[in-house]
A = this chain, B = another copy of it.
Protein backbone atom coordinates (compact mmCIF):
# COMPACT_ATOMS: atom_id res chain seq x y z
CA UNK A 1 0.00 0.00 0.00
CA UNK A 2 1.10 3.60 -0.11
CA UNK A 3 4.43 3.93 -1.82
CA UNK A 4 3.28 3.04 -5.29
CA UNK A 5 1.23 6.09 -5.76
CA UNK A 6 2.99 7.68 -8.63
CA UNK A 7 2.39 5.65 -11.73
CA UNK A 8 -1.24 5.99 -11.10
CA UNK A 9 -3.11 9.15 -10.65
CA UNK A 10 -3.52 10.07 -14.25
CA UNK A 11 -6.93 8.70 -14.17
CA UNK A 12 -8.75 9.82 -11.16
CA UNK A 13 -8.31 13.45 -11.83
CA UNK A 14 -11.43 13.85 -13.90
CA UNK A 15 -13.57 11.88 -11.56
CA UNK A 16 -14.25 14.75 -9.29
CA UNK A 17 -15.46 17.04 -12.00
CA UNK A 18 -17.82 18.12 -9.25
CA UNK A 19 -21.39 19.19 -9.50
CA UNK A 20 -24.31 17.02 -8.72
CA UNK A 21 -25.15 13.46 -9.33
CA UNK A 22 -24.80 13.15 -13.06
CA UNK A 23 -21.53 14.92 -12.86
CA UNK A 24 -20.36 13.63 -9.55
CA UNK A 25 -20.30 10.22 -11.11
CA UNK A 26 -18.35 11.71 -13.96
CA UNK A 27 -18.37 10.52 -17.46
CA UNK A 28 -16.26 7.48 -16.71
CA UNK A 29 -18.51 5.70 -14.30
CA UNK A 30 -17.36 2.54 -15.83
CA UNK A 31 -13.87 3.01 -14.66
CA UNK A 32 -15.13 1.23 -11.58
CA UNK A 33 -14.98 -2.46 -11.69
CA UNK A 34 -18.16 -3.09 -9.82
CA UNK A 35 -20.15 -1.44 -12.53
CA UNK A 36 -18.95 -3.95 -15.06
CA UNK A 37 -18.57 -7.05 -12.95
CA UNK A 38 -21.66 -8.74 -11.57
CA UNK A 39 -21.79 -8.94 -7.81
CA UNK A 40 -20.82 -12.00 -5.85
CA UNK A 41 -24.40 -13.13 -5.44
CA UNK A 42 -24.89 -13.19 -9.18
CA UNK A 43 -21.63 -15.05 -9.73
CA UNK A 44 -22.53 -17.65 -7.15
CA UNK A 45 -25.84 -18.05 -8.86
CA UNK A 46 -24.11 -18.52 -12.19
CA UNK A 47 -21.89 -21.24 -10.75
CA UNK A 48 -24.95 -22.92 -9.35
CA UNK A 49 -26.60 -22.81 -12.76
CA UNK A 50 -23.49 -24.40 -14.26
CA UNK A 51 -23.64 -27.18 -11.69
CA UNK A 52 -27.35 -27.87 -11.86
CA UNK A 53 -28.20 -27.15 -15.45
CA UNK A 54 -31.33 -25.39 -14.34
CA UNK A 55 -32.20 -21.91 -13.23
CA UNK A 56 -34.79 -23.13 -10.79
CA UNK A 57 -32.50 -25.63 -9.12
CA UNK A 58 -29.78 -23.04 -8.91
CA UNK A 59 -32.23 -20.61 -7.37
CA UNK A 60 -33.12 -23.17 -4.74
CA UNK A 61 -29.47 -23.76 -3.98
CA UNK A 62 -28.74 -20.13 -3.34
CA UNK A 63 -32.00 -19.64 -1.48
CA UNK A 64 -33.96 -17.41 -3.81
CA UNK A 65 -36.98 -18.00 -6.00
CA UNK A 66 -36.86 -19.04 -9.61
CA UNK A 67 -38.08 -15.70 -11.01
CA UNK A 68 -35.40 -13.92 -9.04
CA UNK A 69 -32.76 -16.19 -10.50
CA UNK A 70 -34.16 -15.77 -13.96
CA UNK A 71 -34.08 -12.03 -13.75
CA UNK A 72 -30.69 -11.94 -12.17
CA UNK A 73 -29.08 -14.06 -14.85
CA UNK A 74 -30.79 -12.02 -17.48
CA UNK A 75 -29.54 -8.77 -16.09
CA UNK A 76 -26.07 -10.24 -15.85
CA UNK A 77 -26.26 -11.08 -19.52
CA UNK A 78 -27.40 -7.54 -20.24
CA UNK A 79 -24.59 -6.13 -18.19
CA UNK A 80 -21.93 -8.21 -19.91
CA UNK A 81 -23.47 -8.03 -23.33
CA UNK A 82 -23.09 -11.77 -23.77
CA UNK A 83 -25.58 -14.63 -23.70
CA UNK A 84 -24.54 -16.92 -20.89
CA UNK A 85 -27.13 -19.67 -20.81
CA UNK A 86 -29.24 -21.46 -23.35
CA UNK A 87 -32.68 -21.75 -21.88
CA UNK A 88 -34.94 -24.54 -22.92
CA UNK A 89 -38.09 -26.02 -21.52
CA UNK A 90 -36.02 -28.82 -20.11
CA UNK A 91 -33.28 -26.83 -18.49
CA UNK A 92 -30.53 -24.36 -19.06
CA UNK A 93 -27.04 -25.05 -20.26
CA UNK A 94 -24.15 -22.65 -20.43
CA UNK A 95 -23.27 -21.26 -23.81
CA UNK A 96 -19.62 -21.43 -24.83
CA UNK A 97 -19.12 -17.88 -23.76
CA UNK A 98 -21.02 -18.68 -20.60
CA UNK A 99 -18.63 -21.49 -19.76
CA UNK A 100 -15.70 -19.16 -20.12
CA UNK A 101 -17.35 -16.47 -18.04
CA UNK A 102 -18.19 -19.06 -15.43
CA UNK A 103 -14.57 -20.11 -15.20
CA UNK A 104 -13.50 -16.53 -14.69
CA UNK A 105 -16.28 -16.08 -12.17
CA UNK A 106 -15.05 -19.08 -10.25
CA UNK A 107 -11.74 -17.35 -9.65
CA UNK A 108 -13.53 -14.42 -8.10
CA UNK A 109 -15.62 -16.67 -5.92
CA UNK A 110 -12.58 -18.62 -4.79
CA UNK A 111 -10.83 -15.43 -3.84
CA UNK A 112 -13.95 -14.46 -1.93
CA UNK A 113 -13.91 -17.77 -0.11
CA UNK A 114 -10.35 -17.17 0.97
CA UNK A 115 -11.31 -13.70 2.08
CA UNK A 116 -14.18 -15.05 4.06
CA UNK A 117 -12.17 -17.77 5.72
CA UNK A 118 -9.52 -15.27 6.69
CA UNK A 119 -11.90 -12.60 7.87
CA UNK A 120 -13.83 -15.05 9.93
CA UNK A 121 -10.66 -16.15 11.69
CA UNK A 122 -9.61 -12.57 12.20
CA UNK A 123 -12.82 -11.81 13.99
CA UNK A 124 -12.60 -15.08 15.87
CA UNK A 125 -13.36 -14.95 19.53
CA UNK A 126 -10.87 -15.79 22.22
CA UNK A 127 -12.91 -18.85 22.95
CA UNK A 128 -12.38 -20.34 19.54
CA UNK A 129 -11.50 -23.95 19.52
CA UNK A 130 -8.31 -23.22 17.64
CA UNK A 131 -6.34 -20.06 18.17
CA UNK A 132 -3.66 -19.48 15.58
CA UNK A 133 -0.88 -16.91 15.53
CA UNK A 134 0.94 -16.46 12.24
CA UNK A 135 3.42 -14.28 10.45
CA UNK A 136 2.12 -11.87 7.88
CA UNK A 137 3.33 -13.77 4.83
CA UNK A 138 1.77 -16.96 6.02
CA UNK A 139 -1.44 -15.32 7.15
CA UNK A 140 -1.73 -13.54 3.87
CA UNK A 141 -1.00 -16.25 1.37
CA UNK A 142 -1.27 -19.65 2.95
CA UNK A 143 -3.60 -19.59 5.86
CA UNK A 144 -6.84 -18.83 4.03
CA UNK A 145 -6.36 -21.92 1.90
CA UNK A 146 -5.62 -24.03 4.92
CA UNK A 147 -8.66 -22.70 6.70
CA UNK A 148 -10.85 -23.56 3.76
CA UNK A 149 -9.45 -27.08 3.77
CA UNK A 150 -9.89 -27.35 7.51
CA UNK A 151 -13.45 -26.18 7.27
CA UNK A 152 -14.11 -28.84 4.67
CA UNK A 153 -12.84 -31.55 6.96
CA UNK A 154 -13.94 -30.27 10.32
CA UNK A 155 -16.76 -27.84 9.77
CA UNK A 156 -17.25 -27.20 13.43
CA UNK A 157 -13.80 -25.91 14.21
CA UNK A 158 -13.95 -22.20 14.97
CA UNK A 159 -10.59 -20.63 14.31
CA UNK A 160 -9.20 -17.34 15.45
CA UNK A 161 -6.20 -15.67 13.92
CA UNK A 162 -3.64 -13.24 15.21
CA UNK A 163 -1.06 -11.99 12.76
CA UNK A 164 2.32 -10.64 13.78
CA UNK A 165 6.06 -11.18 13.53
CA UNK A 166 7.93 -14.10 15.06
CA UNK A 167 8.26 -12.41 18.43
CA UNK A 168 4.54 -11.83 18.66
CA UNK A 169 3.79 -15.38 17.67
CA UNK A 170 6.18 -16.74 20.32
CA UNK A 171 4.77 -14.48 22.97
CA UNK A 172 1.21 -15.54 22.25
CA UNK A 173 2.06 -19.19 22.32
CA UNK A 174 4.00 -18.97 25.55
CA UNK A 175 1.22 -17.00 27.21
CA UNK A 176 -1.19 -19.70 26.14
CA UNK A 177 -3.13 -17.23 24.08
CA UNK A 178 -2.62 -19.28 20.95
CA UNK A 179 -2.66 -22.99 20.33
CA UNK A 180 -0.47 -23.02 17.32
CA UNK A 181 1.84 -20.66 15.52
CA UNK A 182 3.36 -20.24 12.10
CA UNK A 183 6.62 -18.40 11.56
CA UNK A 184 9.00 -17.84 8.74
CA UNK A 185 12.69 -17.41 9.14
CA UNK A 186 15.94 -19.10 9.85
CA UNK A 187 15.46 -20.32 13.39
CA UNK A 188 12.74 -21.44 15.77
CA UNK A 189 12.20 -18.87 18.53
CA UNK A 190 13.30 -19.85 22.04
CA UNK A 191 10.88 -21.93 23.98
CA UNK A 192 9.18 -23.29 20.90
CA UNK A 193 9.28 -26.53 19.00
CA UNK A 194 8.25 -26.80 15.42
CA UNK A 195 8.30 -28.53 12.11
CA UNK A 196 8.85 -27.15 8.67
CA UNK A 197 5.57 -27.08 6.79
CA UNK A 198 6.69 -25.38 3.63
CA UNK A 199 9.53 -23.60 1.98
CA UNK A 200 9.28 -20.13 0.74
CA UNK A 201 11.67 -19.50 -2.11
CA UNK A 202 12.66 -15.99 -2.92
CA UNK A 203 12.71 -15.48 -6.63
CA UNK A 204 14.24 -12.93 -8.91
CA UNK A 205 11.52 -11.70 -11.19
CA UNK A 206 11.18 -9.14 -13.90
CA UNK A 207 8.58 -7.94 -16.33
CA UNK A 208 8.64 -9.96 -19.55
CA UNK A 209 9.88 -6.85 -21.32
CA UNK A 210 13.03 -6.74 -19.25
CA UNK A 211 16.24 -7.92 -20.96
CA UNK A 212 16.79 -10.54 -18.26
CA UNK A 213 13.58 -12.20 -19.32
CA UNK A 214 15.25 -13.01 -22.64
CA UNK A 215 18.52 -14.32 -21.28
CA UNK A 216 19.60 -17.70 -22.40
CA UNK A 217 21.51 -19.04 -19.43
CA UNK A 218 20.92 -18.46 -15.76
CA UNK A 219 22.09 -15.30 -14.13
CA UNK A 220 25.48 -15.29 -12.43
CA UNK A 221 25.61 -14.38 -8.78
CA UNK A 222 28.06 -11.60 -9.41
CA UNK A 223 25.80 -10.06 -11.98
CA UNK A 224 22.84 -10.28 -9.66
CA UNK A 225 24.76 -8.69 -6.85
CA UNK A 226 25.89 -5.88 -9.12
CA UNK A 227 22.43 -4.96 -10.41
CA UNK A 228 20.17 -2.49 -8.64
CA UNK A 229 16.96 -4.24 -7.69
CA UNK A 230 13.53 -3.37 -6.44
CA UNK A 231 13.46 -4.55 -2.86
CA UNK A 232 11.66 -4.41 0.43
CA UNK A 233 13.25 -2.06 2.90
CA UNK A 234 16.23 -3.16 4.93
CA UNK A 235 15.19 -5.12 7.97
CA UNK A 236 12.29 -6.89 6.36
CA UNK A 237 12.29 -10.67 6.34
CA UNK A 238 12.92 -11.13 2.67
CA UNK A 239 15.68 -8.55 2.71
CA UNK A 240 17.46 -10.36 5.52
CA UNK A 241 17.54 -13.62 3.65
CA UNK A 242 18.80 -11.89 0.56
CA UNK A 243 21.51 -9.95 2.33
CA UNK A 244 22.70 -13.06 4.11
CA UNK A 245 22.86 -15.11 0.94
CA UNK A 246 24.82 -12.55 -0.99
CA UNK A 247 27.08 -11.41 1.82
CA UNK A 248 30.11 -13.28 0.52
CA UNK A 249 29.60 -12.13 -3.02
CA UNK A 250 30.18 -8.55 -2.16
CA UNK A 251 26.64 -7.88 -0.97
CA UNK A 252 23.88 -6.28 -2.95
CA UNK A 253 24.16 -3.24 -5.09
CA UNK A 254 22.34 -0.20 -3.92
CA UNK A 255 18.65 -0.91 -4.47
CA UNK A 256 16.87 0.65 -7.37
CA UNK A 257 13.82 1.18 -5.18
CA UNK A 258 13.13 0.35 -1.57
CA UNK A 259 9.46 -0.13 -0.91
CA UNK A 260 7.51 -0.76 2.23
CA UNK A 261 5.27 -3.60 1.17
CA UNK A 262 5.35 -6.74 -0.87
CA UNK A 263 2.49 -5.39 -2.90
CA UNK A 264 4.37 -2.26 -3.81
CA UNK A 265 7.42 -4.22 -4.88
CA UNK A 266 5.29 -6.45 -7.01
CA UNK A 267 3.54 -3.54 -8.64
CA UNK A 268 6.86 -1.90 -9.44
CA UNK A 269 8.22 -5.10 -10.98
CA UNK A 270 5.13 -5.70 -13.05
CA UNK A 271 5.20 -2.18 -14.36
CA UNK A 272 8.73 -2.68 -15.55
CA UNK A 273 10.63 -0.58 -13.03
CA UNK A 274 13.27 -3.29 -12.76
CA UNK A 275 14.02 -6.75 -11.48
CA UNK A 276 12.69 -7.51 -8.02
CA UNK A 277 13.04 -10.14 -5.36
CA UNK A 278 9.83 -11.64 -4.08
CA UNK A 279 8.49 -14.67 -2.36
CA UNK A 280 7.20 -17.26 -4.76
CA UNK A 281 4.00 -17.19 -2.77
CA UNK A 282 3.40 -13.61 -3.71
CA UNK A 283 3.79 -14.11 -7.41
CA UNK A 284 2.22 -17.42 -8.31
CA UNK A 285 -0.46 -15.77 -10.32
CA UNK A 286 1.77 -13.22 -11.99
CA UNK A 287 4.07 -16.00 -13.12
CA UNK A 288 1.24 -18.10 -14.43
CA UNK A 289 -0.12 -15.24 -16.48
CA UNK A 290 3.33 -14.06 -17.46
CA UNK A 291 2.94 -10.63 -16.05
CA UNK A 292 6.22 -11.52 -14.38
CA UNK A 293 8.99 -13.87 -15.40
CA UNK A 294 11.24 -15.77 -13.02
CA UNK A 295 14.92 -15.34 -13.68
CA UNK A 296 16.94 -18.43 -12.81
CA UNK A 297 20.06 -17.70 -10.79
CA UNK A 298 23.14 -19.81 -10.66
CA UNK A 299 24.26 -21.23 -7.40
CA UNK A 300 21.89 -19.87 -4.78
CA UNK A 301 18.70 -21.13 -3.33
CA UNK A 302 17.10 -18.29 -1.49
CA UNK A 303 15.03 -20.49 0.71
CA UNK A 304 13.25 -19.64 3.82
CA UNK A 305 11.62 -22.24 6.00
CA UNK A 306 8.02 -21.82 7.02
CA UNK A 307 7.36 -23.60 10.26
CA UNK A 308 4.47 -24.58 12.43
CA UNK A 309 5.48 -23.97 16.03
CA UNK A 310 4.19 -24.62 19.54
CA UNK A 311 5.52 -24.34 23.07
CA UNK A 312 8.29 -26.86 23.70
CA UNK A 313 6.83 -30.11 24.82
CA UNK A 314 3.21 -29.30 23.98
CA UNK A 315 2.75 -31.14 20.74
CA UNK A 316 -0.42 -30.02 19.05
CA UNK A 317 -3.53 -32.04 19.73
CA UNK A 318 -7.13 -31.82 18.66
CA UNK A 319 -7.95 -29.09 16.17
CA UNK A 320 -4.36 -27.90 16.10
CA UNK A 321 -3.26 -31.32 14.98
CA UNK A 322 -5.93 -31.34 12.31
CA UNK A 323 -4.59 -28.11 10.96
CA UNK A 324 -1.00 -29.26 11.16
CA UNK A 325 -1.72 -32.37 9.17
CA UNK A 326 -3.14 -30.21 6.40
CA UNK A 327 -0.04 -28.15 6.15
CA UNK A 328 2.66 -30.74 6.43
CA UNK A 329 5.25 -30.46 3.76
CA UNK A 330 6.18 -33.58 2.00
CA UNK A 331 9.64 -34.65 3.13
CA UNK A 332 11.35 -34.90 -0.23
CA UNK A 333 12.34 -32.03 -2.50
Interface positions of A (Cβ within 8 A of B): 1-8, 12, 15-16, 24-26, 28-29, 31-34, 36-37, 39-41, 44, 50-51, 53, 60-65, 80-82, 94, 96-97, 99-116, 118-120, 122-123, 136, 139-142, 144-146, 148-149, 151-152, 155-158, 163-164, 198, 208-209, 213-217, 263, 271, 280-281, 284-285, 287-291, 293, 325-332
Contacts and interface: CB of A to CB of B under 8 A. Distances in A.
Does more than half of chain A's interface fall in helix, strand or loop, or is it mixed? helix
Nearest to A198: B290
Contact of A122 (B101, B107, B141): B101
Nearest to A61: B12
A73 to B, nearest CB: 14
A1 B139 contact: no
Nearest to A287: B284
B119 A25 contact: no
Contact of A140 (B32, B81, B100, B146): B100
Nearest to A29: B63
A307 to B, nearest CB: 14
Contacts of A28: 63
Contacts of A213: 330
A291 B7 CA distance: 36
A136 B217 CA distance: 32
A119 to B, nearest CB: 5
Given A1-B50, A63-B28, A82 B290 contact: no
Contact of A80 (B41, B50, B123): B123
A158 to B, nearest CB: 5
Contacts of A34: 39-41, 44, 112
A139 B36 CA distance: 19
Given A94-B1, A100-B139, A290 B145 contact: yes
Given A1-B51, A7-B155, 13 more contacts: A7-B158, A15-B62, A24-B63, A25-B63, A32-B63, A33-B116, A97-B163, A107-B115, A145-B290, A146-B289, A149-B291, A213-B330, A214-B330
